[in-house]
A and B are shown apart, each in its own frame.
Chain A
Amino acid sequence: MNQFFDQKRFSLLVLKHWADNKKRYTLSLLAYMGLLITWFLFGLIIEGIPEGHGLPEEIQLTTFFFSLFAVGTFYASQYFSDLGSREKGSHLLLVPASSFEKLLCSLFFTVIVFPILMIACFYLVDVSMVTIANSFSGGSISKGKSTVANIFEAELIRFNTKQTIYLLLFFFSVQSLFLLGSAYFKKYNFIKTIITGFLVFVACFFLVYVIAEHIVPEEKEDYYFLKIEKWFPTFLQALAYSTAPIAWVATYFVLKAKQV
Chain B
Amino acid sequence: MISIKNLSFSYKKKPVFSSLDLQFEPGHVYGLLGRNGTGKSSLLRNIAGLLSPKNGTITVNGHVPFQKLPVFLQDVFMVPEEFYLPDVPVRNFIKYYAPFYPRFDSEKFRKYISIFEIPEDNTLQNMSYGQKKKVLISFALATRARVLLMDEPTNGLDIMSKSQFRKIMAEAMNDDQCIIISTHQVKDLEHLIDRITIIDEGKILFNETMDSIARKLSFRFAYDQEDVAAAYYNESSFGGTVVVTQNTEGEESKVDLELLYKAIITNPDTSKSFQH
Q: Which residues of A are interface residues toward B (Cβ below 8 A)?
A: 1, 3, 6, 9, 12, 15-16, 19-20, 23, 82, 85-91, 93-99, 101, 256-257, 259-260
The smallest beta-carbon distance between A219 and chain B, in angstroms, is 56
**A259: contacting residue among B51, B77, B83, CB under 8 A:** B51
Chain B, range 68-95, C-beta contacts under 8 Å to A: 68-71, 73-74, 77-78, 80, 82-88, 92, 95
B84/A85 in contact, CB under 8 A:
yes
**B96: contacting residue among A16, A89, A94, CB under 8 A:** A16
Residues of A within 8 Å of B101, CB to CB, are 96
A6/B70 in contact, CB under 8 A:
yes
Q: A90-B78, A96-B73 are in contact. Are A19 and B96 (CB under 8 A)?
A: yes
Residues of A within 8 Å of B83, CB to CB, are 87, 90-91
Residues of A within 8 Å of B100, CB to CB, are 9, 12, 16, 95-97
* Residue on B nearest A260 in the bound complex, by CB: B50
Query: What are 14 A-B contacts with C-beta separation under 8 Å?
Result: A1-B71, A12-B96, A15-B96, A16-B100, A19-B86, A88-B84, A89-B50, A90-B84, A93-B49, A96-B73, A96-B101, A98-B68, A256-B68, A260-B50
Most chain A beta-carbon neighbours within 10 Å: one of B50, B68, B88: B68
Residues of B within 8 Å of A95, CB to CB, are 73, 97, 100
B96/A87 in contact, CB under 8 A:
no
Interface 0/1 of B115-138, CB less than 8 Å to A: 000000000000000000000000
Alpha-carbon gap, A16 to B70, bound state (A) = 16
B84/A99 in contact, CB under 8 A:
no
Alpha-carbon gap, A34 to B80, bound state (A) = 40
Alpha-carbon gap, A23 to B126, bound state (A) = 15
Q: A1-B71, A93-B49, A94-B49 are in contact. List 20 more A-B contacts (CB 8 A).
A: A1-B70, A9-B70, A12-B96, A12-B99, A19-B92, A23-B87, A86-B80, A90-B45, A90-B80, A90-B83, A93-B50, A94-B77, A94-B78, A97-B70, A98-B69, A98-B70, A99-B68, A256-B68, A259-B51, A260-B50
The secondary-structure label for the interface of chain A is helix
**Residue B43 is within 8 A (CB to CB) of chain A in the complex:** no
Residues of B within 8 Å of A98, CB to CB, are 68-70
Which A-B residue pairs are the 9 nearest by beta carbons?
Answer: A96-B73, A96-B74, A87-B84, A20-B86, A96-B100, A19-B96, A16-B96, A91-B84, A88-B84
* Residue on B nearest A82 in the bound complex, by CB: B84
**Residue B147 is within 8 A (CB to CB) of chain A in the complex:** no
Alpha-carbon gap, A215 to B121, bound state (A) = 72
**Residue B48 is within 8 A (CB to CB) of chain A in the complex:** yes
Alpha-carbon gap, A96 to B92, bound state (A) = 18
Q: A12-B100, A95-B73, A96-B70 are in contact. Are A90 and B50 (CB under 8 A)?
A: yes
Residues of B within 8 Å of A259, CB to CB, are 50-52
The smallest beta-carbon distance between A253 and chain B, in angstroms, is 13
The smallest beta-carbon distance between B44 and chain A, in angstroms, is 11
A3/B70 in contact, CB under 8 A:
yes
Alpha-carbon gap, A86 to B82, bound state (A) = 8
Alpha-carbon gap, A20 to B125, bound state (A) = 12
Residues of B within 8 Å of A101, CB to CB, are 70
A19/B71 in contact, CB under 8 A:
no
Chain B, range 15-60, C-beta contacts under 8 Å to A: 45, 48-52
Most chain B beta-carbon neighbours within 10 Å: one of A1, A86, A93: A86
The smallest beta-carbon distance between B33 and chain A, in angstroms, is 22
* Residue on A nearest B76 in the bound complex, by CB: A94
**B69: contacting residue among A3, A85, A90, A94, CB under 8 A:** A3
Alpha-carbon gap, A41 to B153, bound state (A) = 55
Q: A85-B84, A87-B80 are in contact. Are A19 and B70 (CB under 8 A)?
A: no
* Residue on B nearest A16 in the bound complex, by CB: B96
Alpha-carbon gap, A97 to B70, bound state (A) = 5
The smallest beta-carbon distance between B10 and chain A, in angstroms, is 12
**B95: contacting residue among A1, A19, A256, CB under 8 A:** A19
Residues of A within 8 Å of B85, CB to CB, are 91
The smallest beta-carbon distance between A104 and chain B, in angstroms, is 13
